[in-house]
Amino acid sequence: MNARLTSADRFDLPPDEAKVCLFSPADLGTRQLIRMGPRMSVASEITGHDHRFVLNAPLKIDVAYDEEGSVCTSHKVLPVSGYGASLKEALEDFDVMFEVQWEALVACDQANLAPSGLRARNAFLAVVKEAERLIVNR
């Protein structure tokens, strides 16, 4: 069994504690301030279902929260986003989407790519130092 890194490994804090409370809940008449989490995460490695990607430099991942409490992770340049009920889930989803895009846009014949696909391919190649195929017993 391959020891699989999880997105939680990126944090110094356990996943639950990594949801830092930046604002203390305060009573504003009938309204409550919502709890805000971190706005950015940094990954030096991405681990999908079948690949581990070693990156040239730490990747800044934007984190956003919607009204229903869902967490969205995304990158400014790479066409990758992830969603989840928690930051941990959203980061894991980000990792899998990263892998999906890599397999479709980089590990393929570039002659089949539309201009947006080619631009994304070049962006991935600039970010990834090494893509290692994982052998996972499922």
Partner 1 sequence: MVHVKLSDVEAALRRKGFQSEKPKGDHTYYRLYTEAGKTQVTTKVSHGAKSEDLRDELVSRMSKQLFLSKAEFVDLVTCPLSKERLVELLTERGHL
Site string for partner 1, 20-59 (x = CB under 8 A): ----------------------------xx----------
How buried is 102 (Cβ within 10 angstroms: 0-12 exposed, 13-18 middle, 19+ buried)?
A: buried
Q: How far is the CB of 99 from partner 1 (least distance, A)?
A: 8
Could you tell me if 44 and 31 are in contact, meaning their C-beta atoms sit under 8 angstroms apart? Answer: no
Which one of residues 116, 126, 130, 136 is an interface residue with partner 1 (CB under 8 A)? Answer: 116
Binding residues among 73-112 for partner 1 as defined by CB under 8 A: 79, 81, 83, 93, 96-97, 99-101, 103-105, 108, 112
Ordered DSSP codes for 62-94: EEEE-TTS-EEEE-SSSS-EEEESSHHHHHHHH
Which one of residues 14, 29, 66, 135 is an interface residue with partner 1 (CB under 8 A)? Answer: 66
Q: Name the β-bridge partners of 40.
A: 62
Q: How far is the CB of 122 from partner 1 (least distance, A)?
A: 11
| Among 74, 112, 72, CA closest to 90 | 72
Could you tell me if 95 and 20 are in contact, meaning their C-beta atoms sit under 8 angstroms apart? Answer: no
Binding status of residue 119 toward partner 1 by CB under 8 A: yes
Contacts with partner 1, residue ranges (CB under 8 A): 48-49, 66, 68, 70, 72, 79, 81, 83, 93, 96-97, 99-101, 103-105, 108, 112-117, 119-120
